[in-house]
Chain A
Amino acid sequence: MSLFHMRYRQWLAAATVAALLTGCSSGNTPRSEAPPANNGEAEASQDSGAFANKMKLTVFNSGAFNPATPMPPREEDPMRQMLEAAVNIELDYVIPAPDQADAMLNALIASGDIPDLIFFKDRASAVKYYEEGVTADIGETLAQYPDYEARFTDQQWRDLMYEGKQIGVPAYEQVSGTVGWWLRQDWLDALGLDRPQTTAELLDDMKAFTYDDPDGNGEQDTYGFVAGVGKDGTLANLGWGEVFWLFGAHPEVVDVRDGELVIGATDDRTSEALAFIREMIDAGVVDPDWVSINDVQQINQKMYRGKVGMLISGWRQMEPSNQKNMEEIGGSVPEWITVPPVAGPSGERRLGNAAAQSNSWGVSIKAARDEAKLARIFAFLQYWYTDEEAQRVFSYGIEGVQWNLMDGEIVKVTDEDTLNNYRWTSNYYMPRRGDDPLYFNFQNPDTAGYHQVNIDHVMPNPANAIVVPDPDDRLYADRQKYVRESLLRFMTGRAPLDEWEAYKETLESKYDYGAYRDYVEELLRANEVL
């Protein structure tokens, strides 16, 4: 009896907690209107600029540049002290474990400990948490900080709008053209070839790189091209994506061309690209390891070994540290150069998309309701991102340790001990400029030129930046999986390209592709991109 009674009460308690929890998440939904109450007080403190009372500010940064490096305690962290002193806050700078960021954020939110500023890696998550009522529309507040607003371009701000609301502020600037086509110029010279200009020439050169012994060692141990496939089956990031772009569409990208919606997964340009890739693979010019390569490091290692003639990799691959890798691993530093993508069937040379401002800081709805807190958050952001002194510290590190001022110029300290011991400082570098040569610190004078080649061949794609998965689309993941699997089958010849139409029909009939297309179209029209 008593046991039953006790357990009944336990269940009741559990049910109450559950009810409270669900209540919390749905109860927070009203988010549009400006917060009421204590207006005068907050404005007064903001106007005077003096932050009399100390406030606690929690920043949840899952986008830190070096999350594995532990942060020092407050006393040994001059950067944190600087931020705290500037706007009189106690800064709780949380850097979650890289793969547990979402779990930790959700636990914080559910327990009511919502961080004041939350990093979102892409638009989809920023929108998701806004829709769930975790983050606030901060458009009105932003207008009160013109200096801060001027720090970013109109386009960057627009990229963080959703249904006409400003759902976040930029976290770090995205850099366009960080990867591009690399080519062994010395192999071209050795074989007496010209740089390829068309896809046909590209394939011919790859064949020559594979079969004509470009390294002159008398063995057939070289390949024309290498790429990889992501662990989730995506073709986007490890080289194949750029091959698709040569034909004008990318299977994982939505685009608007000549006023028409182009969904890469079913566009006929994608099937042309697939035919070309199929030809590459059949010709044996692709390093067969491509099927097991699933991260960028593996591609780079192929580059260091010196047995491949073309690949897609980062702009900094010919920096001294990487040249050292080539020397140590491959035995020599080959003449790698970045070249523009070859012209596709339409004559267009396209490397990819220009970067849009996809990452952001969201301001928690809880903090946004408290006018004084909101003012402090913006003062903090304004200082961090616009103050001249802060700009140096939060792009280059601690003065006198990581850099010195010589004749008015910033000179970075480059000895290995300093680099290793102060790696943690980069976790504060969110305000660094995306086009700051000193930050990126090129050692090879050619690197900036290579980057420019890449930048010249990326195209803005406002459509793709806007599209986020429809939360009501239950088939989204299945559809994506089907598309990725099918593309791999077409590439490898497991399915002939004659089945392209059948593949599209299956998408329509089994994966409700029409509804997806309508959703994308509607979204783009609502944002006036289409």
Chain B
Amino acid sequence: MSTTSKREKLLQGVNYAALLLAGLICLFPFFYVLSVSFTPAAEVVRRGVVLIPEQITLYAYNQVLQGYGLGNAYQVTLFRTLVGTGLNLVFTILMAYALSKKSLPGRAPLLMIVIFTMLFNGGLIPTYLLTRYLGLLDTVWALIVPGLISAFNLIIVKGFFEQLPQEIEESAKVDGAGDMRVLWRIVLPLSMPVIATIGLFYAVFHWNSYFDGIMYIRDQQLYPLQVVLRNILLNFQTQTADAVSDTTLPASFLSIQMAAVMLSTVPILLVYPFLQRHFAKGVLLGSVKG
């Protein structure tokens, strides 16, 4: 009895040690990024790998926030994340609800069309043309409208709606509720887990996406965060003789890059732990029918 518990304890100890090590390995790069972003450039070059800075400076953050228009980019990304996710949810839910009703005429072909887009798409240039003819080029809406409904998320939501007990809706109908009222008052309150999940999917997508920003936005005032971040990182690699003709470029651009990385990751990092619960659980939603 006591030996088993001893062995169990040992096993547990080894487990914890291994998990702790794995956790540290995951945290290490992040910690490095954090440290470098606060370290003076000269120290980074002199010491190579810096974990605990000898000196702390906000110089890199200053540079990023002032010189590269990250403040502006934050606004754009916040707008597309908040408004974009809101619109995504509205349109996804409306379509998913309709498609979850077996009585919907033409349901099968509609579903076919939706699934078709999951496998095939028009490609870069036709999509660009479409965006252009819709008059969306160079507006924030180019970042929101083309991806209004994701077929994958739509199917998750539809699956969830389908497994809600039909009887609840029927009883609401008996009491005189219309379709919209049933959706708003009955279905949605019951569907909070799936909404939180795909809301997070959409929000993370908006926060991270950069390619649409590169393709559809020319006005640099409208660049989303990730585009600006990318440009800062690439600027380092493409230093020309002219770029440094006047400016005193710091010895290492690394601190500035790391500060940019921190500034763009921290917000989503802060939100994640609170939503992560829904995130992991939500993906399985609607997949098991009982």
CA distance A65 to B245 in the complex (A): 10
B125 touches A21 (CB 8 A): yes
Whether A71 and B220, one on each chain, are in contact in the complex, defined by CB atoms closer than 8 angstroms, is yes
Task: State whether A73 touches B221 (Cβ < 8 A).
Answer: yes
Interface residue from B42, B234, B251 paired with A97 (Cβ < 8 Å): B234
A-B contact count (CB 8 A): 131
| B230 at interface, CB cutoff 8 A | yes
Query: In the complex the two chains form, is B248's CB within 8 Å of A65's CB?
Result: no
- Rounded to whole Å, the gap between the CB of B142 and the closest CB of chain A is 13
* Bound-complex Cα distance A172 to B241 (A): 12
Chain A hits for B245, CB < 8 A: 65, 426, 439-441
A389-437 at interface with B (beta carbon < 8 Å)? 412, 416, 419-421, 423, 426, 429, 432
In the assembled complex, the Cα of A66 lies from the Cα of B231 at a distance in Å of 10
Closest to B231 in A: A68
Q: Which residues of B contact A104 (CB under 8 A)?
A: 214-215
Point out the residues of chain A lying under 8 angstroms from B238, CB to CB: 67, 98
Contacting residue for A111 out of B132, B223, B237, CB 8 A? B132
Q: Which of A234-242, A297-305, A472-480 contacts its partner?
A: A297-305
CB of B72 closer than 8 Å to a CB of A: yes
B4 to chain A, nearest CB (A): 51
Given A95-B220, A301-B45, A421-B66, A328:B251 Cβ within 8 A:
yes
Question: Which secondary structure dominates chain A's binding surface?
Answer: helix
Closest beta carbon of chain A to B67's beta carbon, Å: 5
| Residue A6 interfacial (CB < 8 Å) | yes
| Residue total for A at the interface (Cβ-Cβ under 8 A) | 60
User: In the complex the two chains form, is B46's CB within 8 Å of A305's CB?
Assistant: yes
Which residue of B112, B231, B237, B243 contacts A3 across the interface (Cβ within 8 Å)? B112
B42 touches A65 (CB 8 A): no
Docked-complex contact A111 and B68, CB < 8 angstroms: no
Task: Provide the residues of chain A in CB contact with B69, threshold 8 Å.
Answer: 69-70
Closest-CB distance, B122 to chain A (whole angstroms): 8
Asked if B235 contacts A98 (CB within 8 A), the reply is yes
Q: Least Cβ distance of A83 to chain B in Å?
A: 17
* 18 A-B pairs (CB sep. < 8 Å): A3-B108, A17-B126, A70-B220, A73-B219, A92-B218, A95-B220, A97-B234, A98-B231, A107-B128, A110-B128, A111-B125, A111-B128, A295-B237, A296-B239, A297-B253, A324-B248, A325-B45, A439-B245
Residues of A in contact with B (beta carbons under 8 Å apart): 2-3, 6, 14, 17, 21, 65-73, 92, 94-100, 103-104, 106-107, 110-111, 113, 172, 175, 178, 295-297, 300-301, 304-305, 314, 316, 321, 324-325, 328-330, 412, 416, 419-421, 423, 426, 429, 432, 439-441
**A-contacting residues of B (Cβ < 8 Å)?**
40, 42, 45-46, 63, 66-69, 72, 108-109, 112, 122, 124-126, 128-129, 132, 214-215, 218-221, 223, 227-228, 230-232, 234-249, 251-253
Which 4 A/B pairs are nearest by Cβ-Cβ distance? A328-B42, A68-B235, A70-B220, A70-B69
